[in-house]
Amino acid sequence: MQAILGIIFHSLGGASSGSWYMPYNVVKKWRWEIYWIVGGLFSWLIMPFIAVLLTTPGWQNILAEADSSVIGTTYTLGVLWGIGGLTYGLGIRYLGMSLGNSVLLGITSLVGSLGLPILRNIGHLYEVLPEGDSLTDMLATDSGRVILFGILVLMVGIVLCGKAGLMKDKDLVGHKDGVNTEFKLTKGLIIAGVSGILSAFFSFGIDAGKRMGEAVREIAVSNNFPFVSDGTYLFENNIIFLVILWGGLTTNLIWSVALILKNKTGGDFVDSSSPLLKNYLLCALAGTTWFLQFFFYGMGETKIGNGASSWILHMSTIILTANFWGFYRKEWADVSSKTRTTIFLGIGLILLSIIIMGIAKSDFLN
| pLDDT tens for each residue of 198-227 | 988 998 899 899 999 999 999 999 999 999
Residue 189 inside a domain? The answer is yes
Structural domain total, the chain: 1
Rounded to whole angstroms, the Cα distance separating 133 from 116 reads: 8
pLDDT at position 48 over 60: yes
Q: Which phi and psi (to 5°) does residue 248 adopt?
A: -60, -40
In a domain, 66, yes or no: yes
In a domain, 1, yes or no: yes
How far apart, in whole angstroms, are the C-alpha atoms of residue 123 and residue 18? 38
Nearest alpha-carbon partner for 70 in 212, 180, 270: 212
How wide is the angle at C-alpha 362 spanned by C-alphas 356 and 366, nearest 5°?
Answer: 115
List CB contacts of 137: < 8 A, sequence separation 6 or more. 117, 144
Please report the pLDDT score of residue 306 as a whole number.
59
In the chain, the amino acid numbered 22 is: M
Residue 289 forms part of a structural domain: yes
Q: What is d(CA 316, CA 128) in angstroms, rounded to the nearest whole number?
A: 30
Q: CB within 8 A of 182, min separation 6: which ones?
A: 93, 94
Give the pLDDT band (50/70/90) at residue 173. low
Residue span of the structural domain in which 221 resides: 1-361
Side-chain-facing half-sphere of 138: CA atoms under 13 Å: 25
Q: In angstroms, rounded to a whole number, what is the distance separating the alpha carbons of residues 200 and 252? A: 17
pLDDT in tens, 89-132: 677 767 766 666 677 878 888 888 888 888 888 987 877 777 77
188, HSE (Cβ side, Cα atoms, 13 Å): 21
Alpha carbons 271 and 254: distance in angstroms, whole number: 23
Q: Can you give the pLDDT at residue 183?
A: 61
The 10s digit of each residue's pLDDT in 320-363 is 887 777 777 777 777 899 988 998 898 888 888 878 877 776 65
Report residue 15's pLDDT band, with 50, 70 and 90 as the boundaries: confident
Q: List CB contacts of 219: < 8 A, sequence separation 6 or more.
A: 57, 58, 62, 225
How does the average pLDDT of the chain come out, rounded?
86
SS (H, E, C) 174-232: CCCCCCCCCCCHHHHHHHHHHHHHHHCHHHHHHHHCHHHHHHHHHHHHHCCCCCEECCE
Q: At residue 260, does pLDDT exceed 90? A: yes
CA angle 171, 174, 175 (to 5 degrees): 70
Asked whether residue 366 is domain-assigned, the answer is no
Between 106 and 282, the higher pLDDT residue? 282
- pLDDT of residue 365 exceeding 70, the answer is no
Question: CB within 8 A of 7, min separation 6: which ones?
Answer: 300, 304, 313, 354, 357, 358
